[in-house]
Chain A
Amino acid sequence: MKIPGCGQTQKGADMHRRNFLKTGAALATISLAPGVTLMAMGQGVGAAANPNARWGLLIDAGKCPVDCSACVTACSQEHGWENTGLDTDPQWIRKVTVKDPDTGYTNSLPVMCQHCEDPPCVDVCPTGASFKRADGIVLVDRHTCIGCRYCMMACPYKARSFVHEPVTGQKTTSPRGVGTVEGCNLCVHKIDRGDATTACVEACTATGNNAMIFGDLNDPDSDISKALAAYPSIELRGDLGLNLGVRYQNI
């Protein structure tokens, strides 16, 4: 089959890309003939990362049972990663059990990317692949990640991991692949969709433990801000002064 015009300069190709994207909404629907309508794939472009928001989590370790890992399972299903028990396992989220050696008091809590305001992973990234979004979410742009793993070394929370083996069957909303670094993205696809929750928080709420709250730290009326104002909470390794997006209670 011939592809007409391929490789030749066409009128359409002269259209400036930026202008084309700007007018995406206008192009969205074109009437070709009565009763026949063409629709573009996109409906215009709008940025979803709200610069006035700072998304965060509040985790009440007192409500988090040692034997529950609903958040880890939910994350694994949402983003399509699997634990194999090896040292090279993904570290999107993991349950950590802490014990006071003096009293024997044992406590359990989920640890994931803490979404620092001043992320060390961003400081060390040589390509700019590790970056912070306008709404405070720290992400890896796998398109520019070269897999050097500096960010893994810089992260005080071991929140990043490297994909060693080729991956198949990824989720559409969570691309991940060999040779790049990955970590918790605070379910950024759900936030952009307007779900205002994450897979781990949903799962935790579904178990009835209600140990996790997701919300906007900049909004004084959000549940998370009210809970933070009402009860004491800490940052993990607060001495580092990174101003974390994830805070803990009752550790």
Chain B
Amino acid sequence: MKRLFIIAMMTGLMATPMLGGETYPDVPKASGNPHPEGSTYWRINHPDLLKHGRDMTVHEGARNTTASLSDCITCHAVNGPDAKPVTIVSDQHFCRTCHEYAAVKIDCFQCHASVPEEQGQAHLMFKEPTTDGLDVLLSYLQRVSP
């Protein structure tokens, strides 16, 4: 009963933004688990976090930084019609969805790969959803809550 209540509550939450009629981009869903700090935190701070992480990686050799572009790319990969992750050339690409909406030009992918290195890595981060979809709803709730 309690579980049903949670689901009903969250379904309501999901429906609420639709009523606003605003034109925010339809951001593709990631395959991994949600950010513990919340998606809002990452939406606001990802440029600084990535810049900090990149300097630590390039200059100090720290490869396991919290903000790593290759981790972003792996978890947020969007599969195209051929079931392979789309590159930055496609407007379905995770980074492009928001950056085109915000009209912020990024040149990360002049040098960096815009697709995961191997399909296998994406599978490592992918979590099978349970049949009742509770995980999906919980992860959604986690992302929308500040």
- Assuming the contacts A2-B17, A12-B37, A178-B110, asked whether A21 and B70 have C-beta atoms less than 8 A apart, the reply is no
Contacts of A2 in B (CB 8 A): 17-18, 20, 22, 24
A42 touches B66 (CB 8 A): yes
Q: Considering the chains assembled together, what is the distance between the CA atoms of A15 and B113 in angstroms?
A: 30
Contacts of A139 in B (CB 8 A): 58
B49 touches A17 (CB 8 A): yes
Q: Which of A25-69 contact B (CB under 8 A)?
A: 27, 30, 32-33, 36-49
A241 located at the interface, meaning its Cβ lies under 8 Å from any Cβ of chain B in the complex: no
Q: Considering the chains assembled together, what is the distance between the CA atoms of A232 and B33 in angstroms?
A: 56
Contacts of A1 in B (CB 8 A): 17-18, 24-27
B62 → chain A closest CB, angstroms: 5
- Assuming the contacts A167-B111, A180-B111, asked whether A4 and B144 have C-beta atoms less than 8 A apart, the reply is yes
A149 located at the interface, meaning its Cβ lies under 8 Å from any Cβ of chain B in the complex: no
Q: Considering the chains assembled together, what is the distance between the CA atoms of A37 and B113 in angstroms?
A: 29
A177 touches B64 (CB 8 A): no
B105 located at the interface, meaning its Cβ lies under 8 Å from any Cβ of chain A in the complex: no
B62 touches A47 (CB 8 A): yes
| Segment touching B, from A90-98, A168-176, A209-217 | A168-176
Q: Considering the chains assembled together, what is the distance between the CA atoms of A191 and B68 in angstroms?
A: 18
B65 located at the interface, meaning its Cβ lies under 8 Å from any Cβ of chain A in the complex: yes
B91 located at the interface, meaning its Cβ lies under 8 Å from any Cβ of chain A in the complex: no
A47 touches B52 (CB 8 A): no
Interface size on A, residues (CB 8 A): 61
Contacts of A171 in B (CB 8 A): 113, 117
B48 located at the interface, meaning its Cβ lies under 8 Å from any Cβ of chain A in the complex: yes
A71 located at the interface, meaning its Cβ lies under 8 Å from any Cβ of chain B in the complex: no
B37 touches A3 (CB 8 A): no
| Segment touching B, from A102-110, A129-137, A195-203, A218-226 | A129-137
Interface size class of B (residues with CB under 8 A): 35 or more
What 0/1 readout, one digit per residue, does chain B (35-73) give for beta carbons within 8 Å of chain A? 111101101110011001011101111111111101111
A42 touches B36 (CB 8 A): no
Partner of A32, one of B26, B61, B138: B138
Contacts of A175 in B (CB 8 A): 111-113
B111 touches A142 (CB 8 A): yes
- Assuming the contacts A2-B22, A133-B59, A172-B116, asked whether A27 and B111 have C-beta atoms less than 8 A apart, the reply is no
A5 located at the interface, meaning its Cβ lies under 8 Å from any Cβ of chain B in the complex: yes
A47 touches B44 (CB 8 A): no
Partner of A47, one of B34, B60, B72: B60
A38 touches B63 (CB 8 A): no
A6 touches B60 (CB 8 A): no
Contacts of A177 in B (CB 8 A): 110-112
Would you list 8 pairs from A and B whose C-beta atoms are within 8 A, ordered by A residue? A1-B18, A2-B24, A13-B45, A41-B75, A42-B66, A49-B61, A177-B110, A188-B61
- Which residues of A are in contact with B by a Cβ distance under 8 Å? 1-7, 10-13, 15, 17, 20-21, 24, 27, 30, 32-33, 36-49, 131, 133-135, 139, 141-143, 166-173, 175-180, 188-189, 191-193
Q: A13-B41, A40-B37 are in contact. List 11 more A-B contacts (CB 8 A).
A: A3-B27, A7-B44, A10-B40, A17-B48, A21-B49, A32-B138, A40-B35, A40-B36, A41-B35, A45-B56, A188-B61
